[in-house]
Amino acid sequence: MPRHRFAVLVFPGTNCERDVLEALRTVTRQDAELVWHQEGSLAGFDAAVVPGGFAHGDYLRAGGLARFSPVMAPLSAMAGSGRPVIGICNGFQILQEARLLPGAMLRNRSLTYVCRDVWIRAEDRNSPLTAALEEGDKLRIPVGHAEGNFFADDEELEALESGQQVLFRYCDEAGRTRDGTNPNGSRNGIAGVRNRRGNVAALMPHPDRAYESVLGNTDGVRVFDSLIRWMES
């Protein structure tokens, strides 16, 4: 019997909703449903995922218009109530634009879109993206973005680091963080963060593209397992 019900938000231009839905259903064996951005309520859902894509065409800025969609009010309420809200890629950008997560995304240092496997290292376990991981665990997960260059000013960066809000950092296969391992120029190699309370979390890489052995990579399973672990602890 499924114990949880997940909402997967769909904005015009979202394009990873089916990937996330399939990954959630396959890995967690819980209920997951698509929710159109015009919905004014998330009643009956225990958690929400904001998937990747180009919400509202990413006009203005990546994620910049999505925060005006009606579904964002109940999403903020869900975040405020302590239930898990997670973002992947464009979902990360949307949660930043909605001020549910810190920092902002700049264009990649290369000025081009980048799609490839990267290694990331778990930095903190207190989040619905990392609860099933140990600090220092390494995952190989694909990225696919043009604006994933995480930026925060010195003061905010210091606050994020000292508050253990950094969840993932780009690294090499051995877990070392080096300049060459950072695919987009993110400050401190940041690939994922959480809010102070820990229930809102996001990452740029796509665990929804690495959840089944047929895809040649199951490292993303541990990210979705974390969601269940976090909700049940």
Partner 1 sequence: MSDSECEAGLPDALAAGLTADEYRKIESRLGRSPNPTELGMFSAMWSEHCSYKSSKRQLARFPTESPRVLEGPGENAGAAAIGEGLAAVFKVESHNHPTFIEPFQGAATGVGGILRDIFTMGARPVALMNSLRFGPPAVRKNRVLLGRAVAGIANYGNSMGIPTLGGEVAFDDCYSLNPLVNAFALGIAPADRIFRARADTPGDPVFCVGAKTGRDGIHGASMASAAFDEEAEAKRPTVQVGDPFLEKLLMEACLELMAGEALAAVQDLGAAGLTCSTAEIAARGGSGIEIDLDLAPQRETGMSAYEIMLSESQERMLLVVRRGREAEVERVFAKWDLDAAAIGRITADGLLRVRHAGRPAATIPCRALTEDAPVYDRPRETPQWWPEPEVRDGDLPEPDDWNEAVLRLVGSPGLASRRFVYEQYDHLVGSDTLARPGGDAGVVRIKGTPLGIAMSLDGNGRYTARDPWRGGALAVAEACRNLAAVGATPVGATNCLNFGNPEKPEVMWQLSEVVSGMCEALTALSVPITGGNVSLYNETEEEGIFPTPVVGVVGVFDDVSTLVGQHFCEPGDLLFLAGPQGSDALGASEYLKVFQQSTGGRPPAPNLEAEVRLGAFLRAAAARRLTRSARDLSEGGLIQAAVESLFAPDGSAQGAAFDLEFAGAPLGALIGEAPARALLSVRPRDADDFAELASVHGVPLAALGTAGGDSLAIRANGVEIIRLTVDDLWPAFGHGLERAVSDRR
In angstroms, the CA 200 to CA 98 distance is 12
Q: Which of 203, 79, 211 is nearest to 129 (CA)?
A: 203
Cβ nearer to partner 1, comparing 48 with 118:
118
190-194 vs 31-36, strand pairing mode: unpaired
Of 154, 155, 173, 232, the one binding partner 1 (CB under 8 A) is: 173
Which one of 8-16, 126-134, 155-163, 187-195 is the stretch in contact with partner 1 (CB under 8 A)? 8-16
Determine, following the binding rule CB under 8 A, whether residue 206 of this chain makes contact with partner 1. Answer: yes
CA distance 133 to 226: 7
Give the CA angle between residues 32, 190, 75 to the nearest 5°. Answer: 35
Q: Binding string, 128-167, against partner 1, x = CB under 8 A?
A: ------------x-x-x-x---------------------
Nearest distance, CB of residue 22 and partner 1, angstroms: 7
Nearer to partner 1, 2 or 57 (CB): 57
Report how far residue 75's alpha carbon sits from residue 91's, in angstroms, rounded to the nearest whole number: 12
The residue among 19 and 123 lying less far from partner 1, judged by its C-beta, is 19
* DSSP state at residue 121: E
Q: How far apart are CA 62 and CA 58, in angstroms?
A: 4
Q: Which of residues 90-119 bind partner 1 (CB under 8 A)?
A: 112-117
Main-chain phi, psi angles of 146, to 5 degrees:
-110, -20
Q: How many CB atoms lie within 10 A of CB 120?
A: 29
Q: Does 39 bind partner 1 (CB under 8 A)?
A: no
Residue 52 makes contact with partner 1 by CB under 8 A: yes
- Out of 3, 29, 41, 59, the only residue in the binding site for partner 1 (CB under 8 A) is 59
Q: Which of 6, 45, 150, 211 binds partner 1 (CB under 8 A)?
A: 211
Specify whether the CB–CB gap between 160 and 166 falls below 8 A. yes
Residue choice 6, 19, 79, 149 for contact with partner 1 (CB under 8 A)? 19
Handedness of CA 72, 78, 82, 84 (dihedral sign): negative
What is the nearest approach in angstroms of partner 1 to the Cβ of residue 50? 15
Which chain residues interact with partner 1 by CB under 8 A?
12-13, 15-16, 18-19, 22-23, 52-54, 56-59, 112-117, 140, 142, 144, 146, 173, 206, 208-209, 211-212, 214-217
